[in-house]
Structure 1
Amino acid sequence: MTGTLIFDPLVPLPLLVAIAVLAFAGLALALWRGLAGWPLRTLAALVLLGALAGPVYQQEDRDPLSDIVLLLEDTSASQSLSDRPAQTAEALEELESELASRPNTEVRRVPVPDGEGDEGTRLMAALSEALAEEPSARVAGIIALSDGRVHDADLAPDLPAPLHLLITGRDSDWDRRLIVANAPAFAIIGEPVTLTLRIEDSGAVPDAIGATAPLEISVDGGEPARYDVPVGQDIDLPVTLGHGGNNVIRFSVPTADGELTDRNNTALIQMNGVRDRLRVLLVSGEPHPGGRTWRNLLKSDSSVDLVHFTILRPPEKQDGVPVAELSLIAFPTRELFMEKIDDFDLIIFDRYKRRGILPALYLDNVAQYVARGGAVLVAAGPDFASADSIFRSPLGPVIPAEPTARVLEQRYRPQVTDMGQRHPVTGDLGDPETWGGWLRQIEVTPTSGNTLMSGLDDRPLLVLDRVGEGRVALLASDHAWLWNRGYEGGGPQLELLRRLAHWMMKEPELEEEALVAEVPQGQTMRIIRRTLSDSVGPVTVTRPDGQTETVELRETAPGRFETLYRGNEIGLYRLAEGDLETVIGLGPAAPREFEETISTGDILAPVIAPQRGGIMALEDGTPSLRDIRPGRPASGRGWIGLTPRNAYETSDVTQTALLPPWLVLLLAALLITGGWLREGRR
């Protein structure tokens, strides 16, 4: 129980001061005039002023409260290195034992795991949450056991007590890490893009470690290329993407003897390969409405470089017009079809037939261009069914369907076949019932490839095939332009042409047999298997640690099977199903927890300094605990300090008035009367 004197004035303080001033002014006047009763009047004034001040004697019954000590245990990934877990466990045991023997003390143990995703060590966030749950007036000290690699030090809260950092790790620790800078998300296929790499050693690097290190580079999980590169220097490395879509580039440095971890010796870069320009050669056999449509569609895309070779005046036409008046320049047919043909990504033959303008040698070179990896699209008109058909040229062996010489002049609506529903070129093109009709079809008999669209009486309309390293598409009609003109509502001609062109250029998103993976968010990947078959097998997933597991896929659309898979580790995952394989990286180029692994107190030093806490290495032993006064140094050689808070809880309060009203009236009356009588006697 404790007692204190408090004042509870009956009037506002300014008024009380004014009354006191008037009273003492009157007393000064009485003293100046020599009145004999001025001492008694002074005492009476003091009694009245004391009564107005309301003096109260307050007694409190207090229950003492214990001090609270916060123990922050860093359990993030970097704390698992070397013998740091053992150091932490031993120090925690000793500290808890000493705190248990300290009277009137409670311990709050706060684990600090890895942050969400790749946020790193969020020690300050954990401390803020712990302080929010405890009365700050009871916190006597905060002790953090960590390697000091904290990633939210700028979010430190106001500390009610000293913070001490007990650092795990050894003075002899050293580590090597691989850093990849300025890696763009996109790069143009076939053009080099420069990445900046750096191999950096930190800590107590042994003298036996050389000034160079072997660097391995692999693309999409292929055989790695090896180079010796200097340590501690920026290296500009040109990288050229060989295909479109996602390219996974893996850089790695072998583990050196004695280094702390190899988790930062590998970096994954995922770059999306895009084409700068699409070079198209359009060969038109004769002017017709569809020719202008093809040209307009291709020219509407600014990324398309179009060379249009059209025959306006066939050799058999005899109208007496001099050749010099029909042509401004000689068209470079030899240069295009012999010397520069490999520069084109796509060649389109639109209603072309043999007229002797392009020699058989040129067409044979086009067939070889396809076998080497080129792409040809044949838009067939009535000429395809004639004796002069391009099919009866050296280009015929690569065309996937043979004409029957019948030209069907009848309205029909193009339909997507069952195979076409599963193929990415024609799958999900929309509802065929809303498409406009076509009025002509060339009857063909497929000899190879896949029929994706059909016309009159289910006759083949669009046939796709692979030839050697290249690809060929045959559209058995020259009336696709009706869709572009909006005939009967039109149809998806532009999208169909775009998909055809991208499929023939081997864009990964349009491969009919493909195993791909996407990362919608965080550590979750979406595994996608596209196929023309009715079913697929399970996918084997090889994790970064070498362990494997199988996952089943479910069909989400015709020819498309998917599943979601969560990878708990950051790194390169290999996926395999049948003969198909792919790789994908989850997480950043290197996990944040392993970017820097050497223990340090520099990061938290600005947070610890205001309360004069301590930074000590557990390698030197666990420090002892001492009680200190607030504002005094909170650490010394081999010890850290706690500030006893002497907090309490008030259970009862009793107040007693020192000047009760009856006593005030009695004293004031006696003193005033005594002063009057004394003055009256004189």
Structure 2
Amino acid sequence: MTATLTQLRFDPALPWWAIIALAVLAGLVGAFALWRGLRGWAWRGLAGLAAALALAGPALELGTRAGLSDIVILLEDRSSSQDLPGRAAQMDAAAADLSAQIAALPGTDLRRVTVGDDDDGTLLGTALSRAVAAEPEARLAGVIALTDGRLHDAPMLPQGLPAPVHVLLTGQPDDWDRRLVIEEDPAFGLIDQEVTIRLRIEDQGAVPPDQQTGSVNLSLSVDGEDAQTVAVPLNTSLSLPVTPRHAGQNVVQIELDDAPGELTDRNNAAAVSINGVRDRLRVLLVSGEPHAGERTWRNLLKSDAGVDLIHFTILRPPDKFDGVPVNELSLIAFPTQELFLERIDDFDLIIFDRYSVRGILPPDYYLNIARYVEEGGAILVSAGPEMASVESLNLSPLGRILPARPTGRVIEEPYLPRLTPEGQRHPVTAGLAGDDPEAPDWGRWLRMSEVTPEPGAQVAMTGAEDSPLLILDRVGEGRVALLTSDQVWLWGRGFEGGGPQLELLRRIAHWSMKEPELEEEALLAEIRDGLSVSLTRRTMADDAGPLQITGPDGTVTELPLVADGPGRFVADWTAPEPGLYRLADGDITRVLALGPAAPREFEETVADAPLLAPLTDTTGGAVLRLSDGVPDIRQTRTGRAASGSGLGGDWIGITPRDAAQVTGLDRRPLLPGWAWLLLISGLILTGWLAEGRRRPA
């Protein structure tokens, strides 16, 4: 502890203007006495000034202070990129060595700060700013950062630090890595129309000569299907065409072949999610004859803004002879060739509503419709009594793809449509009957055709005598739905309370057009917050799971599923880290991208410090590699070099700050009051005596 004069302070007894006025008055009196030649003028002036000074109350402040230790911040980057081979051990050894050296320095304290993983990458700048702000600036002697130099918040780095900042890089000088960079990816794409993904394959670091081949193999897979492999050039931006095949999420998985010797393969893959949307759904509705339920289909489809509907009603079949000349008919002729040969592939769904085979379409047209379904199209047959007649579509060449065969019998009696066990699982009909599928709260229908379903077809609803009412089937790449009654319009008219007419017909139509939310075999994933996922498995089987989950690092885990209703199994799951995950349950697979396929930690993995170099330069610090050894720590004065090389290797410096803390404060008047009184009185007396002296004659 040492005593030191801190400063001279004043405690005035009068306002400062009064004290200044007194001092000025004393000066004027002295000046007047000098002008008149009076003896003792100087003593009078001094007496007035002493009185003014006494009224100002001068005092000395004496403080005692204690020296404070210097502070050195050791910042350790423990993010995921430091788990690359050799880096963790390298950092542990360096942190232990530096801690021991700092502990050996007299009057120096160490503050260790750890930077971990964050969704936004390595926030080293934020951590450094907070660490510096938490310490008194006057005590900060230096900052040492153990890192690979890759940070993602450079604007947060502190500016104007009073102490040197040193960066010690992990890794090896010959490290290199190859990564896949997605430059541009579309969020949406029209179904069956190409969109473009722009990407680049980039090499970083000391690439070995045998890897400088100029091209690498790139594999592309959509929704987990078989991958296609192409050779692409290195370090060149290129466009990759992709075609969304269905509505909803189309996950495009892109992967590079692993290169021997590269730092990591975590940045060799990417997942691009493209939301497939339809320009407009094109539906052809053909009504075989006018009937009470005809407008049901028309109203449903016309009310959907995303549907383009073409509707033809056959008012006058060829076998009808009424004597009316064709040129006097007000309706157009049925363009069968254009619709069923030339432009049939333009439609997403064809609906035959009470259609009878009356010679309007030649056999080749039916064969073309069957070909259209097998290649991915869809037809929906809403049948009436004609289904049991000789004019049934089943007797045409189209019959080979229909999911049921009519027995020739029409059942005309009231019945209540009911869901089958399959219907309670199938998303087209699941939930329609409310809480009690055995006793649905809806009205009865009055007529249906009796049919025998084909093997493999799914009977979702039954009617009178438990005969199939709604049959769904897949044919090749397409789909076929058969409704064996034309009485659904009774629900729309509110007969006996009505029923879910519009919802049933909407689901049938959209299932036929392969809407993802109506797939009976599906694996759905809803990403919640962060890495939390809600998984739903829909199936027609009695049980499902467990899910096989393959992580970004290749590890496989099993996740059990819990029943949540007929044909529905669910589970909640939290991924251990961001990346690409492959989910599988039997033949059902899904690719799930949680966060970026390669976290920001692995976007750039070769150690370098371009973002930290400006800070080290302005503070006099250095950027060194730990592969060259842990540098010695020295104490250097302010303004001297804070790094260098010696016989023992590299060294870095910290700047002692000589900071101190005031522990006591004492104020003492410059003179006590009686001393001021004696001083002023003495000056006045001296001036009076000097004035009263006579000069010799």
Global fold match (TM > 0.5): yes
Report how far residue 154 of structure 1 moved.
0.4
Report how far residue 345 of structure 1 moved.
2.0
* Percent identical: 54
Letter of the 2:167 partner, please give it. Answer: L
1:408 pairs, out of 405, 408, 412, with 412
Residues 2/320 of structure 1: CA separation in 2 closer, same or farther (3 Å cut)? same
Contact 2:22 2:48 in 1 (8 A): no
User: How many Å separate the matches in 2 of 1:195 and 1:384?
Assistant: 50
SS in 1 for 2:62: strand
Matching residue of 1:202: 204
SS in 2 for 1:172: coil
CA shift digits 1:225-264 (9 cap, x unpaired): 2222221111111112333433332222223343332222
1:174 pairs, out of 168, 173, 176, with 176
Matching residue of 1:665: 677
CA shift digits 1:91-112 (9 cap, x unpaired): 3233222211111111011111
Gapped regions of structure 2 (runs ≥ 5): none
Matching residue of 1:655: 667
Matching residue of 1:513: 521
1:526 pairs, out of 534, 551, 554, with 534
2:560 pairs, out of 552, 555, 579, with 552
User: How many Å separate the matches in 2 of 1:228 and 1:242?
Assistant: 24
Report how far residue 561 of structure 1 moved.
1.1
CA shift digits 1:208-239 (9 cap, x unpaired): 32222222223333433222222111111111
Residues 48/492 of structure 1: CA separation in 2 closer, same or farther (3 Å cut)? farther
User: How many Å separate the matches in 2 of 1:364 and 1:301?
Assistant: 30
Q: TM-score, normalised by structure 1?
A: 0.91
Contact 1:413 1:435 in 2 (8 A): no
Gapped regions of structure 1 (runs ≥ 5): none
2:256 pairs, out of 244, 253, 256, with 253
Report how far residue 494 of structure 1 moved.
3.9
User: How many Å separate the matches in 1 of 2:11 and 2:394?
Assistant: 114
Matching residue of 2:479: 471
Residues 166/28 of structure 1: CA separation in 2 closer, same or farther (3 Å cut)? farther
Residues 402/311 of structure 1: CA separation in 2 closer, same or farther (3 Å cut)? same
Contact 2:459 2:469 in 1 (8 A): yes
Q: 1:72-151 counterparts in 2 under 5 A?
A: 72-115=75-118, 117=119, 119-151=120-152
Residues 559/27 of structure 1: CA separation in 2 closer, same or farther (3 Å cut)? farther
Letter of the 1:42 partner, please give it. Answer: G
Residues 328/385 of structure 1: CA separation in 2 closer, same or farther (3 Å cut)? closer
Letter of the 2:32 partner, please give it. Answer: L
Letter of the 1:166 partner, please give it. Answer: L
User: How many Å separate the matches in 1 of 2:30 and 2:405?
Assistant: 128
Contact 1:384 1:442 in 2 (8 A): no
Matching residue of 1:444: 450
Letter of the 1:440 partner, please give it. Answer: L
Residues 48/629 of structure 1: CA separation in 2 closer, same or farther (3 Å cut)? farther
SS in 2 for 1:395: helix
Q: 1:32-43 counterparts in 2 under 5 A?
A: 32-43=35-46
Contact 2:70 2:656 in 1 (8 A): yes
Report how far residue 73 of structure 1 moved.
0.7
Q: 2:592 matched to 1:584?
A: yes
CA shift digits 1:388-434 (9 cap, x unpaired): 33344443441336366335364x76554443332211224474999
CA shift digits 1:274-294 (9 cap, x unpaired): 333322221101123432332
Contact 2:375 2:476 in 1 (8 A): yes
Residues 486/671 of structure 1: CA separation in 2 closer, same or farther (3 Å cut)? farther
Residues 48/496 of structure 1: CA separation in 2 closer, same or farther (3 Å cut)? farther
Report how far residue 66 of structure 1 moved.
1.3
Contact 1:438 1:479 in 2 (8 A): no
Matching residue of 1:68: 71
Report how far residue 337 of structure 1 moved.
2.6
Letter of the 2:412 partner, please give it. Answer: L
Q: 1:502-651 counterparts in 2 under 5 A?
A: 502-630=510-638, 633-637=641-645, 638-651=650-663
SS in 2 for 1:63: strand
Letter of the 1:442 partner, please give it. Answer: M
Residues 446/92 of structure 1: CA separation in 2 closer, same or farther (3 Å cut)? same
SS in 2 for 1:30: helix
1:229 pairs, out of 232, 240, 243, with 232
SS in 1 for 2:177: strand
Matching residue of 2:166: 164
SS in 1 for 2:528: strand
Q: 2:403 matched to 1:399?
A: yes
Deviates more, 1:272-281 or 1:347-356: 272-281
Deviates more, 1:448-457 or 1:87-96: 448-457
Matching residue of 1:215: 218
SS in 2 for 1:157: coil
2:185 pairs, out of 179, 183, 186, with 183
Contact 1:385 1:407 in 2 (8 A): no
User: How many Å separate the matches in 2 of 1:639 and 1:143?
Assistant: 12
Letter of the 1:283 partner, please give it. Answer: V
Matching residue of 2:281: 278
Report how far residue 155 of structure 1 moved.
1.2
Report how far residue 144 of structure 1 moved.
0.7
Q: 2:350 matched to 1:357?
A: no
Report how far residue 631 of structure 1 moved.
5.4
Contact 2:445 2:488 in 1 (8 A): no
Letter of the 1:173 partner, please give it. Answer: D
1:53 pairs, out of 56, 79, 94, with 56
SS in 1 for 2:358: coil
User: How many Å separate the matches in 2 of 1:604 and 1:656?
Assistant: 52
Contact 1:401 1:463 in 2 (8 A): no
Contact 1:441 1:461 in 2 (8 A): no
Residues 137/482 of structure 1: CA separation in 2 closer, same or farther (3 Å cut)? farther
SS in 1 for 2:482: strand
How many residues align? The count is 679
